Amino acid sequence: MSTSQTEQSDRKKYEFRRVIEDLKEHEGSGTQLVSIYITPEEQISSVVAHVNEEYSEASNIKSKQTRTNVQDALKSIKDRLRYYDTFPPENGMAVFSGAIDTGGGRTEMVTRVLEDPPQPIQSSLYRCSSEFVTEPLEEMLADQGLFGLVVLDRREANVGWLRGKRIEPVKSASSLVPGKQRKGGQSAQRFARLRLEAIDNFYQEVAGMADDLMVPERHEIDGILVGGPSPTKDEFLDGDYLHHELQDKVIGKFDVAYTDESGLSDLVDSASDALADQEVMQDKAEMEEFFAELHGGDLATYGFGPTRENLVLGSVDRLLISEDLREDVVSYDCPESHTDHELVGQRAETPDHTCEQCGSEPVEVEREDVIDHLISIAEQRGTETRFISSDFEKGEQLLDAFGGIAGILRYSTGV
Ligand SMILES: [Zn+2]
C-alpha cells in the first residue's frame, strides 16, 4: 500500500468514525430509525423497491407520530438514493435516517450516507429500530491488519488468514507420518529414519502450502502466527521451512490443542496479546521517536499552536494526532488582518474572542473540526498524518499531556 493510500484511508476512517459516534448518540422513540447497508453487487433499483415496500407497510403503524417519522425517513433515503446510478460506489454504502429525540419532546430528522467504507460491505441489511445499526461499520474500522495463520502437528495442518477479526481457513493437509510404534520386523534405526523423513516431508508440504498462500501477499502481511503442540511448531520454525521473507514475519508461536480448522481460532485466541501489541506497534514506534526528539533532539513539536505553525512552514514530516481528539478550531480574522485560532469543545458555543495581537474584537470566520483543519494544511505541505491510538501509555500521553496534537519535524524551526 502506498503512503498516499494509507493516508487517504486513515482520513476516511476518521470521517467514518466521527459519523458513527454521532449516529450512536441518537435514539429514536419507538422503532423508527432506519439503517440500510448496500453491498457493492446490489442494484440501487432493488434497494429502492425494498424501501418502497417498507414505505407502504409503514402505513399500518398505529401511532401516527411513529408512522410519519418512519415514512419521512424512508422518503429521505429514497431522495438520497436518486443520486446513484445502477450500483453503489465500489465498496458499497450505508444509509441512516430517522427522527431523533432532541429533548423537550422535539424531534429532528437526520439522514447520513456513508459511501465507500474502507472495506466492502459484506451483507445487505435493512433494519428499523430504536437505534441505528453501526456495528458492521465499527468492526470494519477496528479491522486492522492481515495475519497469516499456520497450525500444525505431525498429523495435520491448516493455513489461513486473520483479516481484522475474521478468520479465513484456506488450505489443509494431512500427513502419512507413521506413529511411534514400529511394525515387527523393521529395524528400529530404519524405522526412526523413515519417520524423520516423513516428518520432514510433511513440514515441507505445510511450508509449501503457506508459501503459496502468503508469499504473494508478503508486503501486505502484518505478521504470521504459528500454532501447534510442542515440539512440532518449534521444529517447524527452527528448521526454516518457511520462505525466508515469511519466516521474518513470524511474530510468535503459540500452544494450541487442535490443528484442524478450529485450531485457527484457538491460535488467534492464544495470540490475542501479541496481536494487540502488533496493532499499536507502529503507533508506539512513532511515539518513541517523538519522545526521543523531545528529550534529546530538536525535531519535536506539540500542541495546536506550534504544530500548526510548523505545518504552515512546511517543516513537519509526520503529523501525530490522537485518535480520541475531538475538538473544533475557530479561526478569527481581526480588522488589522491578524488571524487567531482557538480550540473549543465540539459541543461548546463559540466563545467571545479578542485578538491576541492588537486587542480588537475580531469576527469569527470559520469553525471546523480541528483534525480536518490540520490535515488540510498537512496535505498541502506533503506532510503525512498518523492517527495514534490511546490504548498504550505514550499514546495516552499524547492526548492528555500534548493536547492530542504533535509532530516530528524535517528540520528545526525554533517555533
Ligand atoms: Zn488583531
Whether residue 235 is contained in a domain is answered as yes
Q: State which of 88, 117, 142 marks the end of a domain.
A: 142
Longest alpha-carbon distance in the chain = 104
Distance 359 CA to ligand 1 centre (A): 6
Distance between CA atoms of 400 and 322, rounded to whole angstroms? 10
Q: Clarify whether residues 275 and 150 are in a common domain.
A: yes
Whether residue 414 is contained in a domain is answered as no
Element (H, E) at 206: helix 188-214
The DSSP call for residue 281 is H
Say if residues 323 and 390 touch (Cβ distance below 8 Å). Answer: yes
Distance 352 CA to ligand 1 centre (A): 14
Distance between CA atoms of 400 and 105, rounded to whole angstroms? 37
End-to-end CA separation in angstroms for the chain: 33
**Which of the four pLDDT bands, split at 50, 70 and 90, describes residue 1?**
very low
Where are the extended beta strands (E) located within 40-165?
93-103, 106-115, 125-129, 146-152, 156-163
Q: Clarify whether residues 22 and 86 are in a common domain.
A: yes
Q: Cα separations (Å) of 403 from 238, 289, 323, 347, 356?
A: 46, 18, 12, 17, 20
Q: What is the CATH number of the domain that holds 404?
A: 3.30.1330.30
State phi, psi for 187 to the nearest 5 degrees: -75, 145
Q: State which of 279, 307, 322 marks the end of a domain.
A: 279
Best CA proximity match to 137, nearest among 113, 161, 157: 113
Whether residue 194 is contained in a domain is answered as yes
Whether residue 7 is contained in a domain is answered as no
Whether residue 122 is contained in a domain is answered as yes
3-state secondary structure of 302: strand
Q: CA Rg, the chain, in Å? A: 28
Q: What is the mean pLDDT of residues 170-176?
A: 91
Say if residues 292 and 299 touch (Cβ distance below 8 Å). Answer: no
Q: Residue 335: count other Cβ atoms within 10 Å of its Cβ.
A: 11
Distance 339 CA to ligand 1 centre (A): 7
Q: What is the pLDDT of residues 87-101, one digit of tens each?
A: 999 999 999 999 888
Distance 413 CA to ligand 1 centre (A): 24
State phi, psi for 5 to the nearest 5 degrees: -65, -40
Q: Residue 165: count other Cβ atoms within 10 Å of its Cβ.
A: 12
As given in the structure block, the three cell numbers for residue 154 are 505431525
Distance 331 CA to ligand 1 centre (A): 12
Where are the extended beta strands (E) located within 337-413?
339-345, 363-369, 384-388, 405-409
Distance 333 CA to ligand 1 centre (A): 7
Q: Clarify whether residues 183 and 271 are in a common domain.
A: yes
As for how many domains the chain has, the answer is 3
Q: Clarify whether residues 308 and 390 are in a common domain.
A: yes
Q: What is the pLDDT of residues 102-139, one digit of tens each?
A: 777 788 889 999 999 888 899 999 999 989 999 999 88
Q: Clarify whether residues 321 and 206 are in a common domain.
A: no
Whether residue 313 is contained in a domain is answered as yes
Q: What is the pLDDT of residues 301-332, one digit of tens each?
A: 999 999 999 999 999 999 999 999 999 999 98
Q: State which of 279, 306, 321 marks the end of a domain.
A: 279
Distance between CA atoms of 227 and 113, rounded to whole angstroms? 42
Q: What is the pLDDT of residues 41-84, one digit of tens each?
A: 999 999 999 999 999 999 999 999 889 999 999 999 999 999 99
Q: Clarify whether residues 202 and 309 are in a common domain.
A: no
Q: What is the CATH number of the domain that holds 172?
A: 3.30.420.60
Q: What is the pLDDT of residues 231-252, one digit of tens each?
A: 899 999 999 999 999 999 999 9
Q: Clarify whether residues 330 and 399 are in a common domain.
A: yes
Statement: residue 347 has pLDDT above 70? yes
Distance 349 CA to ligand 1 centre (A): 22
Q: Clarify whether residues 248 and 319 are in a common domain.
A: no
Distance 361 CA to ligand 1 centre (A): 8
Q: Can you give the residue range of the structural domain that contains 311?
A: 281-409
Higher pLDDT, 288 or 354: 288
Distance 330 CA to ligand 1 centre (A): 15
Distance 356 CA to ligand 1 centre (A): 6
Whether residue 343 is contained in a domain is answered as yes
Q: Clarify whether residues 386 and 306 are in a common domain.
A: yes
Distance 344 CA to ligand 1 centre (A): 20
Q: Clarify whether residues 250 and 289 are in a common domain.
A: no
Q: Clarify whether residues 244 and 232 are in a common domain.
A: yes
Whether residue 1 is contained in a domain is answered as no
Q: What is the mean pLDDT of the chain?
A: 90
3-state secondary structure of 347: coil
Q: What is the CATH number of the domain that holds 69?
A: 3.30.960.10
- For 278, residues 6+ apart whose C-beta sits below 8 A from its C-beta are 145, 147, 222, 223, 251
What stretches of 88-149 show up as alpha helix (H) in DSSP? 135-142
Q: Clarify whether residues 288 and 380 are in a common domain.
A: yes
